[in-house]
C-alpha cells in the first residue's frame, strides 16, 4: 500500500508581542516596518522587493544546517525553497527526521543481521513539502505542510516560522483549516459510528455519589460512549434528538440538559480514517486531508514538487475564498 501523503492547512495571523490588545497586523505593514532600509521610503518601495527580503530572511534563519527541536530528537533543514514574490508565496521542500539515537539498519527479510548503524549525531531525513502565503494586503496567511502516514515535522516547521517572527518582535497565532468541499466528500464516504457525551466539573455531591474515591477530585471528567452502530451522517442527524439529545435519566451525573455536557459524533470512512464533530460547533469536522498517490514522484514515496505545488495552489485559492480574502491594489 505504501505511505500516504497528508496535508495540514493552517491559517495564521501575527501581532506585536507583549501588547495585550494589539490587533492582527497587515502583512504589508509588517514587511514595510521590518524590511525597508534606512535610505528607502517604506511607502514607495516595491512590495515584491520587501517580500523577497522576508523570504530571504526565512531561508537564512536555517543557517544552512539542521535546526533541532528542544529535546534534540528531531531536526529540519532546507532542501530547496522557491520564492514567488508576485504571489506572496514561498514554497519548497524541507528535509526532516529523527536524530539523537543510534539506529540499526536491517534487510527486511533478515531481522538477525545488522547491515549498518546510523549514529546518534546523524539525522534520518525525508523530504516534506510546505507552502507559506502571506498576503501583502491581508491579516490572515496560510501555511501548508505535507507529511506521511506516520511521520511528520509540522511542529518543527511551525516553530521555525514562529521564531522568525519572534525575532521581529511579533507573535503568531494559528488554527487548522480544511476546505469545505473536502469535508463534504469525507462525510459522503463516511458513517457515524460513535457518540461521546463528555461532562467536566461535577459538584462535590455528584462526585461523592459516583464514588467516595472521587469526592475531592475537582477536575473529574465523565465520558459516556455509545457504540455498536453505523449510520449514514444525513440520516443520523435527522433522527438524532435536537431538543433533548439523551432521553435517559443522567441527573446523578448532572447531565440533565444538553448544555451540561459536550456531545461529539465520530465519523469513519471506508479506509478507517476518522474525524469528530462537536454538536456545539454546528457539527463541523476537520478530517485529515489525504493527498492522491498521483502526486508522488515516480518510483518513490516522496511528493513530486511540481505536481504538489500545482495541486496546493488550487487548494490555496479555495482557502482564500473561504476565509473571505479579497485582494486589493496595494502598492
**What is the pTM (predicted TM-score) of this model?**
0.88
Residue 330 lies in a domain: no
As a whole number of angstroms, the distance between CA 28 and CA 75 comes to 31
In this structure, are 200 and 140 located in the same domain?
no
In this structure, are 259 and 129 located in the same domain?
no
As a whole number of angstroms, the distance between CA 154 and CA 91 comes to 14
In this structure, are 150 and 95 located in the same domain?
yes
Residue 56 lies in a domain: yes
Among 47-56, 106-115, 186-195, 315-324, which is the least confidently predicted range? 47-56
Predicted pLDDT at 243: 62
Q: Are 144 and 130 in contact (CB under 8 A)?
A: yes
Among 56-65, 190-199, 280-289, which is the least confidently predicted range? 280-289
Which residues lie below 8 Å from residue 229, measured CB to CB, with a gap of 6+?
A: 193
Cell of 107: 534487510
Residue 82 lies in a domain: yes
Residue 310 lies in a domain: yes
In this structure, are 15 and 111 located in the same domain?
yes
Among 15-29, 154-168, 214-228, 233-247, which is the least confidently predicted range? 233-247
Among 267-276, 278-287, 290-299, which is the least confidently predicted range? 278-287
In this structure, are 158 and 247 located in the same domain?
no
In this structure, are 129 and 157 located in the same domain?
yes
State how many domains the chain has: 2
Q: Are 222 and 209 in contact (CB under 8 A)?
A: no
In this structure, are 163 and 35 located in the same domain?
yes
The fraction of the chain above a pLDDT of 90, given in percent, is: 71
Instruction: Give the range of the structural domain holding residue 196, as residue numbers without chain letter.
Output: 183-281
Residue 329 lies in a domain: no
In this structure, are 10 and 157 located in the same domain?
yes
In this predicted structure, the answer to whether residue 107 has a pLDDT above a threshold of 80 is yes
Q: Are 126 and 96 in contact (CB under 8 A)?
A: yes
Predicted pLDDT at 331: 41
Residue 328 lies in a domain: no
Residue 115 lies in a domain: yes
Predicted pLDDT at 330: 45
In this structure, are 64 and 202 located in the same domain?
no
Predicted pLDDT at 51: 87
As a whole number of angstroms, the distance between CA 139 and CA 29 comes to 10
Residue 80 lies in a domain: yes
Amino acid at each position: 500500500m505504501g505511505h500516504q501523503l497528508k496535508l495540514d492547512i493552517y491559517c495564521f495571523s501575527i501581532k506585536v508581542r507583549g501588547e495585550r490588545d494589539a490587533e492582527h497586523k497587515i502583512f504589508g505593514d509588517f514587511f514595510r516596518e521590518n524590511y525597508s532600509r534606512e535610505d528607502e521610503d517604506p511607502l514607495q518601495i516595491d512590495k515584491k522587493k520587501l517580500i523577497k527580503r522576508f523570504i530571504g530572511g526565512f531561508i537564512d534563519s536555517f543557517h544552512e544546517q539542521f535546526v533541532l527541536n528542544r529535546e534534540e530528537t528531531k531536526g529540519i533543514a532546507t532542501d530547496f525553497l522557491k520564492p514567488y514574490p508576485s504571489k506572496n508565496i514561498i514554497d519548497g521542500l524541507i528535509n526532516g527526521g529523527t536524530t539523537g539515537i543510534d539506529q540499526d539498519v536491517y534487510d527486511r527479510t533478515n531481522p538477525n543481521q545488522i547491515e549498518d548503524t546510523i549514529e546518534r549525531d546523524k539525522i534520518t531525513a525525508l523530504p516534506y513539502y510546505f507552502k507559506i502565503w502571506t498576503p501583502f494586503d491581508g491579516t490572515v496567511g496560510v501555511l501548508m505542510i505535507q507529511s506521511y502516514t506516520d511521520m511528520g515535522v509540522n511542529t518543527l516547521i511551525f516553530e521555525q516560522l514562529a521564531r522568525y517572527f519572534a525575532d521581529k518582535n511579533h507573535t503568531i497565532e494559528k488554527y487548522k483549516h480544511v476546505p469545505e468541499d473536502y469535508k463534504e466528500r469525507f462525510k459522503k464516504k463516511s458513517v457515524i459510528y460513535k457518540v461521546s457525551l463528555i461532562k467536566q466539573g461535577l459538584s462535590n455531591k455528584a462526585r461523592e455519589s459516583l464514588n467516595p474515591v472521587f469526592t475531592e477530585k475537582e477536575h473529574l471528567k465523565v465520558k459516556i460512549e455509545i457504540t455498536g452502530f453505523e449510520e449514514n451522517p444525513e440520516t443520523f442527524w435527522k433522527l438524532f434528538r435536537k431538543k433533548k439529545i439523551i432521553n435517559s435519566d443522567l441527573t446523578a451525573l448532572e447531565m440533565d440538559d444538553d448544555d451540561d455536557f459536550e456531545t461529539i459524533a465520530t465519523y469513519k470512512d471506508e479506509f478507517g480514517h476518522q474525524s469528530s464533530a462537536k454538536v456545539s460547533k454546528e457539527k463541523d469536522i476537520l478530517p485529515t486531508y489525504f493527498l492522491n498517490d498521483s502526486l508522488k514522484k515516480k518510483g518513490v514515496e516522496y511528493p513530486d514538487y511540481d505536481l504538489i505545488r500545482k495541486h496546493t495552489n488550487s487548494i490555496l485559492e479555495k482557502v482564500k475564498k473561504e476565509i473571505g480574502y479579497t485582494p486589493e491594489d496595494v502598492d
